[in-house]
Amino acid sequence: MDFREKLSALRKKMANDNVGALIISSADPHQSPSVCAHWKAVQWLTGFTGSLSTCIVSRQSVAMWTDGRYLLQAQRELNDKDIEIYISSDAEAPSHAEWIREHIGREEKIAIDKKLFSVEEYRSIKRNLGPGFIVEDRSGYVDETWQPRPLISSERLFELDVSFAGASRVEKINIIRGRMKKKGAEQYLAASLDAVAWLTNLRGHDNPIYPLFHSYLFITGKIAVLYTNLSKIDDITAEGLRKDNILLRETSDIFNFLPNETAGKSIYLDPYKISVSLFESLSPSASVIEGIDLITHVKSMKNEIEQKNIRMSNIKECVALCRLIKSVKENVKKEIFLDEYMIGQKVNEFRKIEPTFLQPANIPIVAVGENAALPHYKPKKEKSSRLEAKGFLLFDLCAHYLTGSTDITRTIQIGCLSDEMQRDYTLVLKAHIALATLTFPYGTTGFVIDGIVKSSQWRNHMNYDTGTGHGIGFCLDIHEGPCKIVNEFTPFFPYAMTTPLDVGMLFSNEPGVYKKGRFGVRLENDILVQEDCINEFGRFLKFETLTYCPFELGAIKKELLSVEELEWLNKYHEKTYEALSPYLNEKEKTWLWYETRKL
Amino acid sequence: MDFREKLSALRKKMANDNVGALIISSADPHQSPSVCAHWKAVQWLTGFTGSLSTCIVSRQSVAMWTDGRYLLQAQRELNDKDIEIYISSDAEAPSHAEWIREHIGREEKIAIDKKLFSVEEYRSIKRNLGPGFIVEDRSGYVDETWQPRPLISSERLFELDVSFAGASRVEKINIIRGRMKKKGAEQYLAASLDAVAWLTNLRGHDNPIYPLFHSYLFITGKIAVLYTNLSKIDDITAEGLRKDNILLRETSDIFNFLPNETAGKSIYLDPYKISVSLFESLSPSASVIEGIDLITHVKSMKNEIEQKNIRMSNIKECVALCRLIKSVKENVKKEIFLDEYMIGQKVNEFRKIEPTFLQPANIPIVAVGENAALPHYKPKKEKSSRLEAKGFLLFDLCAHYLTGSTDITRTIQIGCLSDEMQRDYTLVLKAHIALATLTFPYGTTGFVIDGIVKSSQWRNHMNYDTGTGHGIGFCLDIHEGPCKIVNEFTPFFPYAMTTPLDVGMLFSNEPGVYKKGRFGVRLENDILVQEDCINEFGRFLKFETLTYCPFELGAIKKELLSVEELEWLNKYHEKTYEALSPYLNEKEKTWLWYETRKL
């Protein structure tokens, strides 16, 4: 089926039901920030491969909303189709509701797939539409038309040992029960895949880059129920779960179970994380307590063992990255020019030496020249730039280790650098150091911290549109809530503007500069929130940097660094050599010694 | 009537009506941040003189909620009464709703005075209480019990010349009509006293420190109606208003007028600024469009003439402040030790020389020693500390000039300073300079800017709990919305977290440090938002400093300043001499020349 055929099949159904607008979402039933192919309905219909998009089909028109960073990509990928493209954050763009009001006939209805919309999303649609519009659940439209549809993986789940996770699922359930009590809730419902994986210490293969599995979780003071595809759980795992008093049920059973089980009970849930379908299957007599997902908040604060483990993941990953940098630089010197895609694959050779390495955690971002000016550029096998001996190479590579996940970016010199490139590299480094060395009072949110870091660039009339950092999951999602170091509200992280950073939270520290059509610089380490001190002004927190990978000395303008910044850099490089050299051979040590020399 | 008698009178009424909780507010019907004595019901009942408080009376208990900065004062002023004191921002404190739920009997009702609660406040009370509670309007309880009650001033209004205001009221009405059109509203209702005063170019004497008058404003595409006490408008002013097509009506007429006039119309209003009484008097067929008050936003962006005028107000005020500083320092040298209260009065002698000076705009904050550690300390005539030749003297003085208002704080040396005092003074100065020199992209809010400025202190494990700055009205409120450079939501400035700073907005720049029981430092200039530049990263804004008054060179540790900061300071002092010396006599010039010498 091509675009036209799909469209006419959908419109036929719409006409039959007197539906004037069909909202197609790129979400899964768990409100995951990243979904597997099975749920990419917008891509199926339009061919657009960017994430975070919504498409609305009316009887005459089609419109798609996406993130500003995907504009060029959307224009390229949709250029042969008659689809209006809008950037969600653009104040001039019509909102979904405005567009619908203009394109829908009188008496016509609006269709959505209620399992793909969160309660809050649905409320916001209804609120924005205003009275007089009828929104109906029509999951069948896409489900019946999309043939053949990619399947969800049937690979088995595996268990994350307590020596990695730092706490057993029984301990975790008790923590959550404590939180439930505090909130005055008898029951708790979770639908976020990373929340369920964290609590059960199970991991899966349903997402190509995150080790998650489709599931729901229901907890009361007495029982805990895991809803998932039971054929993916082997007997030993099932036995372990039963021993820990976790009941196992097939995913779809939850819709039969909730209506009775929640009758007359108080149930806690996160309206941003629970679908309308789930919500509507609660008993009408349930009293719902809404708020930030309990697990999401608890799991973001890594326990001591997780912290120790993540430190190790970072060292192992940095060893691999150093080998990658060394090999790229040597190749360039020998005039062996790989392309971006190959470099993104090559890192896995170095990673695989480490037995705790699990899998890559992103589609590799490897970018030369102007490609690096697109923060989310991902080279494809068939379309990837070859390196040249000039300017920068930027790579942003994430990995899952059993000891926790990493997300690291370096911008390395592979040829001559202009004065502007060196200046910009140094300014990004200054912003990076600003965050690494920040001390802040307890109660501060990532929203404020983002501005603090960016302000060091603003003073030079520069800026970057991306966030400065995001939470990082422990062998879960690489982008993890509730906190985020960003300057705007996003529905996947609805509490980022109001939830203070807390001890044990793991973040990326990734300021950058992106000069369209020319070059880009980003420098990213992983940082942990730690206690700093308590004094008459209150309690202060600080960051511990976990990532030790050399910065590019040849790209730094020393005169732009303050005395304190220079000191930080030299100390950082000293520690880098100390941390990584035990894992390196003599040649590699010599190389690293030079790369981390005192400036 | 003493506290017990008032309480029993109120409780008698409550018992008659089966009311279990009476919420008493310290607001006026216009949601003014500062109210005149007539509206201070919490003070009348409890004797507590701090602002921003709410009191709830149940059949057995009384509780009062106030701002953290008033805790000590509340404990002192209420110590002989059986009143529970809570800090509103304290997470452990019960919310109003929680307290009510615990203290109210089954079937008992809750009473409020609907004219004193904004629509949003009322919604929040109802939301927090949850279903099953009945909230009734019982304005009579306090109104009938409070005898004798302070009257509202009957002094006449006066007109602010267009040469001061920069735009006629006809021009202003047209601007507002343009905004109404954009919002799709046929009508607009304003209740904020500063909004009405701004639009009408009228000023009054109803508030002891702000030149405002009680009024409402109603505008349609064709008419504009001013509701106020007509006896306060003289014939010439009335004639002028009529010429400008502004209809005049008695205040209370608005409740007869709105039900008919709004029938079937779309009306724009700000739910944080309109009382429940007003809101409920709209026709049920009116379609209400809610959002940030139209005038509040427009008036915060000062026009070119206002900007020019405010520059002049600042110079005139700084001339007076320099004379004050000079006289205090000379007196101390001669061992003439005035007290704080006298200094707060003395400044008016110097101000009165200037014919455009209107009136003081705050109860003077003048504080020596540990008094300065309380950011809002106000010496009273009968209770004021005498100066000694040691440490700092802090004064925070506001003034209304016909050319606009000023809000300036200096901390001056009146004796020996410890090393800690000098260090802290310098760190506050650094934070002050951080804001004065900040460049930021269009779209940035005061919420983020507050963090940027504070972060310079956080790095030294210091902090201040107050905001870094607030909007300043033009001969109106000294604390003006919608923007504010603060880190928390306050109901008087509900849009501060989301409204970006814009060109022409006037702010205070007032970082500080407050060391309880020891000393305090605050340095405050007034700053205007101006265009900076546009480049590939977007549009940048910056601040223009308007206030030129010397900083205390003897309190500055030069070695803590960066090269750029030192340069800024020297330039600032150079400009200070340049700006003020034309208004000074020879002796004063010599004094200022020394005070502004190059460091």
pLDDT of A127 over the 90 cut = no
Cα dist from B500 to B268, B300, B432, B488, B503, whole Å: 21, 12, 20, 15, 10
Mean pLDDT confidence for B115-131: 90
Query: For residues B39 and B57, is the Cβ–Cβ distance under 8 A?
Result: no
Whether pLDDT at A323 is above 90: yes
Are the C-beta atoms of residues A2 and A87 closer than 8 Å to each other?
no
Least confident piece of the model among A242-251, B311-320, B374-383 = B374-383
pLDDT for residue B131 is more than 80: no
Query: How does DSSP assign A352-420, residue by residue?
Result: TTSTTEEEE-S--EEEEGGGGGSTT---BTTB-PBP-SBSEEEEEEEEEETTEEEEEEEEEE-SB--HH
Mean pLDDT of B98-114: 92
Binary contact (B447, A447; C-beta < 8 A): yes
Flag whether pLDDT at B313 surpasses 80.
yes
What mean pLDDT value characterizes chain B?
95
Considering chain A, what percentage of its residues have pLDDT values greater than 90? 88
Chain A neighbors of B68, CB-CB under 8 A: none
What does the pLDDT read at residue B73? 84
- Indicate the pLDDT class of residue A346, thresholds 50, 70 and 90: very high
Backbone phi and psi for residue A508, each to the nearest 5 degrees, phi listed first: -90, 150
The pLDDT score that the predictor gives to residue A326 is: 97
* Tens-digit pLDDT profile for residues B349-400: 999 999 999 999 999 999 999 999 988 889 999 989 999 889 999 999 999 9
Please state, rounded to an integer, the average pLDDT across all residues of chain A: 95
Q: How many CB atoms are located within 10 Å of the residue B332 CB? A: 20
Residue range A151-169, pLDDT digits in tens = 999 999 999 999 999 999 9
Map A212-233 to HEC letters. CCCEEEEEECCCEEEEECHHHC
In this structure, how many other beta carbons lie within 10 angstroms of the beta carbon of residue A560?
16
Give chain B's count of helices (H) and strands (E). 19, 26
Rounded to an integer, what distance in angstroms lies between the CA atom of residue B499 and that of residue B297?
Answer: 9
- Per-residue pLDDT at A295: 97
Amino acid at B192: S
B568-584 pLDDT per residue, tens:
999 999 999 999 999 99
Nearest to A451 among B451, B458, B459 (CB): B451
Residues of A in contact with B535 (CB under 8 A): 461
Does residue A51 or residue B526 have the better pLDDT? Answer: B526
- For B4, the enclosing helix (H) or strand (E) is helix B3-16
Amino acid A68: pLDDT: 78
Min Cα distance B590 → chain A (Å) is 36
CA distance to partner chain B, nearest, from residue A463 (Å): 6
Q: How big is chain B by its Cα radius of gyration, in Å?
A: 25
What is the per-residue pLDDT for B105?
Answer: 87
B459: nearest CA partner in chain A:
A439
Residue B277, pLDDT score:
97
Task: Determine which helix (DSSP H) or strand (DSSP E) holds B141, and give its type and residue range.
Answer: helix B140-145
**Cα of B528 to nearest chain A Cα, Å:** 17
Residue A90 has pLDDT above 90, yes or no: no
Convert the pLDDT of each residue in A477-532 to its tens digit: 999 999 999 988 888 899 998 899 999 999 999 999 999 999 999 999 999 999 99
Structure tokens at B244: 């400008």
A302/A308 Cα distance (integer angstroms): 10
Q: What band does A106 get if pLDDT is binned at 50, 70 and 90?
A: confident
Sequence letter at residue A360 = P
Assign A41 a pLDDT band (cuts: 50, 70, 90).
very high
Per-residue model confidence as pLDDT tens digits over A521-569: 999 999 999 999 999 999 999 999 999 999 999 999 999 999 999 999 9
Asked if the peptide bond before residue A271 counts as cis, ω within 30 degrees of 0, the response is no
Instruction: Fill in the amino acid letter for A333.
Output: K
Give the residue-averaged pLDDT of B483-508.
92
ipTM: 0.91
Among B455, B533, B537, select the one facing A452 at the smallest CB separation: B455
pLDDT value at position B376?
Answer: 84
Q: Residue B67's pLDDT is what?
A: 83
Specify the pLDDT at position B350: 98
CB contact under 8 Å between A441 and B463, yes or no, is yes
d(CA B239, CA A423) in angstroms, rounded, equals 65
In chain A, what is the greatest distance between 2 CA atoms, to the nearest angstrom? Answer: 76
Nearest CA among B340, B327, B465, B450 for reference residue B397:
B340
- The shortest CB-CB distance from A536 to any of B438, B516, B535 is to B516
Whole-angstrom Cα Rg for chain A: 25
Tell me the residues of B at the A interface, defined by beta carbons under 8 Å apart.
Answer: 437-441, 444, 447-452, 455, 458-459, 461-463, 487, 515-516, 532-533, 535-538, 540, 562
What residues of B are in contact with residue A439 (Cβ under 8 Å)?
458-459, 461
Q: Which of B448, B461, B535 sits opposite A540 (nearest CB)?
A: B461
- Dist CA B500 CA A416 (whole Å): 41
CA distance A525 to A551: 11
Q: Which two tokens stand for residue B589?
A: 């010039």
* Chain A positions in Cβ-Cβ contact with residue B101 (cut-off 8 Å): none
- How far from each other are the two terminal CA atoms of chain A, in whole angstroms? 61
How high is the pLDDT of residue A337? 84
pTM value is 0.93
Nearest-CA residue of chain B relative to A443? B487
Per DSSP, the residues of A509-539 read E--EEEETTTEEEE-BEEEEEEEEEEETTEE
Task: List, in sequence order, the alpha helices (H) in A183-303.
Answer: 193-200, 235-243, 254-261, 276-280, 294-300
Q: What is the pLDDT of residues B471-486, one digit of tens each?
A: 999 999 999 999 999 9
Query: B538: which chain A residues are within 8 Å (Cβ-Cβ)?
Result: 463
Smallest CA–CA distance, residue B267 to chain A, in Å, is 16
- Are B472 and B480 spatial neighbours (Cβ–Cβ below 8 Å)? yes
C-alpha closest to that of B442 among B539, B532, B300, B533: B539
CB contact set of A193 (below 8 Å; sequence gap of 6+) = A30, A32, A206, A207, A210, A212, A213, A214, A215
Residues 6+ away with beta carbon under 8 Å from A85: A63, A64, A66, A71, A74, A75, A78
- Chain B environment of A563 (Cβ under 8 Å): none
Structure tokens at A28: 């899964």
Predicted local distance difference test score (pLDDT) of residue B543: 98
**Candidates A463, A487, A535; nearest CB to B448:** A487
Helix (H, G, I), strand (E, B) or coil at B447: helix
What band does B531 get if pLDDT is binned at 50, 70 and 90? very high
> Across chain A, how many H-helices and E-strands are there?
19, 26
User: Residue B426 is encoded by which pair of tokens?
Assistant: 């310098």
Query: What percentage of chain B reaches a pLDDT higher than 90?
Result: 88
Structure tokens, A184: 């005055």
Chain B residues touching A451 at Cβ < 8 A: 444, 448-449, 451-452
DSSP character at residue B415: S
Contact A413, A487 (CB under 8 A): no
pLDDT reported for residue A248:
98
Chain A CB contacts of B541 under 8 Å are none
Count how many pairs of residues, chain A against chain B, have C-beta atoms within 8 Å. Answer: 65
CB contact under 8 A, A437 and B459: yes
Chain A residue with Cα closest to B447 = A448
